[in-house]
Amino acid sequence: MSKYLDPKADLTFKKVFAEHKNLLISLLNALLPLEEDQLIEYIEYWPAEKIPRRSEIEKDSIVDVCCRDKRGREFLVEMQMTWSEEFRKRVLFNSAKAYVAQSVTGQDYNDLQPVYSLNFINSNMKLDVDGYYHHYRLVHEKNTNEIIDGLQLVFIELPKFRPETISEKKMQVLWLRYLTEINSQISEAPAELLENTEINQALSILETSSYTEEQMRTYDRFWDNISIYRTLEGARNRESQMRIIAEKKCDKAEQERDKAEQERDEAKAQVESMINFLKLQGMSDSKIAEIINSKEKNTTESEETVK
């Protein structure tokens, strides 16, 4: 029997990061683009009623953790099991909503604090850029040093992460290894993870012995739902691809028909032009017919030779 559960599941992710402030602070400091003097020291979780809720049709989308630090900066953390463009728009919407929600009547806009959205994607985002770490912010098109400090969105493609891709930021590597290497198939965690105090604590929370039978059923249902979703999504993608292939074949056949029809029209026009010319020369209809028939016969024989 496995010793650990997968930290990416709804139940486990929230149990680790929505119930242990020190672990969430460590994760945010490690994964967000914060300078040394911007690191988070203390947080307060948002009240449950303020946390954006997923809809019933977004079974694989987890709105997990929202918090605020002493400076008033707000942080949203999500684990997304599959990628879609709609998810990116929803992340932007939730972040903008959190930013606007800070404003109260008569408040100075200078008091508004940045909102950081940290999003883990357990699939490929299908972007035309390399790397697994994608940081979005408002910058001047030509002078990238000019920044509007309001919203910062980070998307991390977990399948693309490899420990050797980073030479610095040790905690970033350890947390990403925690999220990508730990699952219900392993019985022992890597020594490098066990040696770190915070990661070790996060690992202990994943131990199967810490969960009730009902929680284990909830955990299993989560992965069953993900499996069903991905199966249906794969079937839809295959159906879409087959439809595209069929449409291309139809387009090609239609193009060939149009080309053949155009060639027939051109040949007919040539024959009519030749007939008119021969008539102008005073040639009889029978002689014209003989010449036309001979030309058509030679054309047919030439085409058969080419074939």
pLDDT 10s digits, 145-196: 898 889 999 999 999 998 875 555 789 999 999 999 999 888 899 999 999 9
Q: Which residues pair with 66 in a beta bridge?
A: 76
Q: Does residue 253 share a domain with residue 207? A: no
Q: Does residue 150 share a domain with residue 299? A: no
Q: Does residue 17 share a domain with residue 131? A: yes
Q: Does residue 167 share a domain with residue 86? A: yes
pLDDT value of residue 168: 58
Asked whether residue 186 is domain-assigned, the answer is yes
**CA–CA separation, 94 vs 63, rounded Å?**
10
Asked whether residue 191 is domain-assigned, the answer is yes
Q: Does residue 178 share a domain with residue 110? A: yes
Q: Does residue 273 share a domain with residue 191? A: no
The larger pLDDT score, comparing residue 277 to residue 193, is at: 193
The alpha-helical segments, DSSP class H, found in the chain are 10-17, 21-31, 85-101, 170-181, 191-194, 197-206, 213-280, 285-306
Q: Does residue 259 share a domain with residue 126? A: no
Asked whether residue 244 is domain-assigned, the answer is no
Structure confidence at residue 294 as a pLDDT band (50, 70, 90): confident
From residue 12, give the alpha-carbon distance in Å to each of 8, 9, 83, 220: 7, 5, 20, 11
The residue count of the chain comes to 307
Structure confidence at residue 302 as a pLDDT band (50, 70, 90): low
Considering the entire predicted model, what is its pTM? 0.71
- Supply the mean pLDDT for the chain: 84
Domain region containing 153: 10-211
Asked whether residue 240 is domain-assigned, the answer is no
pLDDT value of residue 301: 56
Q: Does residue 148 share a domain with residue 206? A: yes
Asked whether residue 5 is domain-assigned, the answer is no
Q: Does residue 256 share a domain with residue 116? A: no
**CA–CA separation, 287 vs 71, rounded Å?**
101
pLDDT value of residue 300: 59
Closest by CA position to 90, among listed 100, 103, 80, 75: 80
Q: Which residues contact 71 (CB under 8 A, 6 or more apart)?
A: 113
Q: Which backbone phi and psi does 149 adopt, to 5 degrees?
A: -85, 95
Q: How many domains in the chain?
A: 2
Q: Does residue 258 share a domain with residue 118? A: no
**CA–CA separation, 216 vs 210, rounded Å?**
10
Q: Does residue 300 share a domain with residue 200? A: no
Asked whether residue 61 is domain-assigned, the answer is yes
Asked whether residue 113 is domain-assigned, the answer is yes
Question: What is the amino acid identity at position 200?
Answer: N
pLDDT value of residue 151: 95
Q: Does residue 102 share a domain with residue 45? A: yes
